[in-house]
Chains A and B, each alone.
Chain A
């Protein structure tokens, strides 16, 4: 069971003077239960890529397979694909429209044609997943909430569809540090406790380094890296050349290596970095 792209290309406005090839021959697989990060700088094709996951965009060539089935084959109901693959857009709070938080979150399950009692259950579940108190928030207008709360309502709106795969496009953009940490820890819980497969699109390398186990890097519509997080960040200079940042810890390690300290380049967390530095300070040989 997986989300798979095979040789996907996407060209915007083909045949016009504005023709633009946003994706070039992308093949990748996201297995059930994984937590994958997707990075690439602005205009690299990230947003185009994730819209292929749930059939919002049709590849110009290539295949998209959800749980083994080609979603562009005749007879496939895209609504079912969109239920399976939940997509949270950038600034999802801009999609809120209902009078109450409850109604807004219920929009998805309602579209799936669920009976009212099931809808209520789904809404309650989704709200608890993003840690919004059901009794307190359900009758409030979504427009009266704070930025972070609005975003959580919007994410709950997608979670209420009960997706198996959850794709989030920069879920922390424009939030203050506290709102950011809350959202990220909730996403981590979704992966750990609910067993959701998560694809996280992010600009923040520090967040990515902490959370994901595998990292996909795209640049100019091409897949550059698709590997374990620590191995990707070991390509320090190539990433910088592609206009991408690396986690602060990786930067520190590289600066130390430049100064002649034999530390490992593929360190991801502050604790690991501490271990590495201490090892060398104590004069012990660093492990390979």
Chain B
């Protein structure tokens, strides 16, 4: 259950996508979203599909990993598909009382679900191919370029949050096991019983999270951490040829997507 969480997970590799500058990847994801939301007809979605599949193939991330990341989404997908199929006006295919399914609804629902799937695929591809450190590095630089004042602090918070996800998951598993060794049961019973069974898990987890936060703050202060002022980096980010190629590809993608929407 806990092992299925793929947010912030990184899979090491040396594909072209892995090697891109994090800034390129972040900006490309934003541009991709523009292209994705521009797609409004079959040819638009075909383009998005081709582009997304190409990126996934190039990244060499196993498909199973991506599918696992999509699993928590199924409820939203079903809901989106259902709402669109039932609530869109158009050619009625099936009717029962006030409920009706229209062909426009089915089409709309399908496209919307596809849009969500692609959105999650590409954003998880970003974290799957970028180490958390270089990701937040990239975010910091992009925020700075946008003249956002506390860019470094925001990026540092993100780094720390990402860094602690696996630690807290480990901790959760450990405490869960310790309580299970005392006969705790997290899996059966009604909603109330289950919520109650979480107390022996959450209290120690919060305590340890606070203790860790405290220790980390002390450790950072002991090393004279004082925010982003005059900070230099060990690893300087540098754009390379492949980054410009990636930008060219993404701009082409957005351009064609806009074209399919308005002129096809």
Contact B174 A89 (CB under 8 A): yes
Kindly list chain B residues whose C-beta atoms are within 8 Å of the C-beta of A95: 175, 178-179, 182, 200, 204
Q: Which residues 86-141 of A sit at the B interface, judged by CB distance below 8 A? A: 86-89, 92, 94-97, 107-108, 111-112
User: In this complex, what residue of A is CB-closest to B179?
Assistant: A95
Q: Is the interface of B mostly helix, strand, loop or mixed?
A: helix
Q: Tell whether A17 is near chain B: CB-to-CB under 8 Å.
A: yes
Contact B185 A86 (CB under 8 A): no
B185 vs chain A, min Cβ distance (A): 7
Contact A89 B182 (CB under 8 A): no
Contact B3 A13 (CB under 8 A): yes
Kindly list chain B residues whose C-beta atoms are within 8 Å of the C-beta of A13: 3
Q: Which residues 154-203 of B sit at the A interface, judged by CB distance below 8 A? A: 174-175, 177-185, 199-200, 203
- Type the 1/0 row for A50-86, where 1 means its CB is closer than 8 Å to any CB of B: 0100101000000000000000000000010011001
Contact B199 A97 (CB under 8 A): yes
Q: Tell whether B228 is near chain A: CB-to-CB under 8 Å.
A: no
Q: Tell whether A158 is near chain B: CB-to-CB under 8 Å.
A: yes
Contact B183 A112 (CB under 8 A): yes
A184 vs chain B, min Cβ distance (A): 21
Kindly list chain A residues whose C-beta atoms are within 8 Å of the C-beta of B200: 95, 97, 107
Q: Which of B178, B199, B207 contacts A92 (CB 8 A)?
A: B178
Contact B204 A158 (CB under 8 A): no
Q: Tell whether A45 is near chain B: CB-to-CB under 8 Å.
A: no
Known: A13-B3, A17-B12, A111-B185. A94 touches B175 (CB 8 A): yes
Complexed CA–CA distance, A97 and B179 (Å):
10
Kindly list chain A residues whose C-beta atoms are within 8 Å of the C-beta of B151: none
Complexed CA–CA distance, A93 and B174 (Å):
12
Q: Tell whether A221 is near chain B: CB-to-CB under 8 Å.
A: no
Q: Tell whether B208 is near chain A: CB-to-CB under 8 Å.
A: yes
Contact B181 A87 (CB under 8 A): yes
- Type the 1/0 row for A1-32, where 1 means its CB is closer than 8 Å to any CB of B: 00000000000010001000000000000000
Q: Tell whether A39 is near chain B: CB-to-CB under 8 Å.
A: no
Known: A17-B12, A92-B178, A94-B175. A161 touches B204 (CB 8 A): no
Contact B182 A108 (CB under 8 A): yes
Kindly list chain B residues whose C-beta atoms are within 8 Å of the C-beta of A40: none
Chain A, interface residues (CB within 8 Å), range: 20 to 34
Kindly list chain A residues whose C-beta atoms are within 8 Å of the C-beta of B207: 94, 143
Q: Tell whether B11 is near chain A: CB-to-CB under 8 Å.
A: yes
Q: Tell whether A157 is near chain B: CB-to-CB under 8 Å.
A: yes
Q: Which of B174, B177, B183 contacts A108 (CB 8 A)?
A: B183
Kindly list chain A residues whose C-beta atoms are within 8 Å of the C-beta of B204: 94-97
Known: A17-B11, A94-B208. A107 touches B177 (CB 8 A): no
- Type the 1/0 row for B1-40, where 1 means its CB is closer than 8 Å to any CB of A: 0010000000110000000000000000000000000000
B residues lining the A interface (CB < 8 Å): 3, 11-12, 174-175, 177-185, 199-200, 203-204, 207-208
A residues lining the B interface (CB < 8 Å): 13, 17, 51, 54, 56, 79, 82-83, 86-89, 92, 94-97, 107-108, 111-112, 143, 157-158, 161
Given A89-B178, A107-B179, 9 other A-B residues pairs in contact with their CB atoms under 8 A = A13-B3, A54-B181, A56-B180, A95-B175, A95-B178, A95-B179, A96-B204, A143-B207, A161-B183
Q: Can you list 8 A-B pairs, Cβ within 8 angstroms, ordered by A?
A: A17-B11, A56-B177, A89-B178, A94-B174, A94-B175, A95-B178, A107-B182, A158-B182
The 6 closest A-B pairs by CB, nearest first: A111-B183, A97-B203, A108-B182, A95-B178, A87-B181, A89-B178
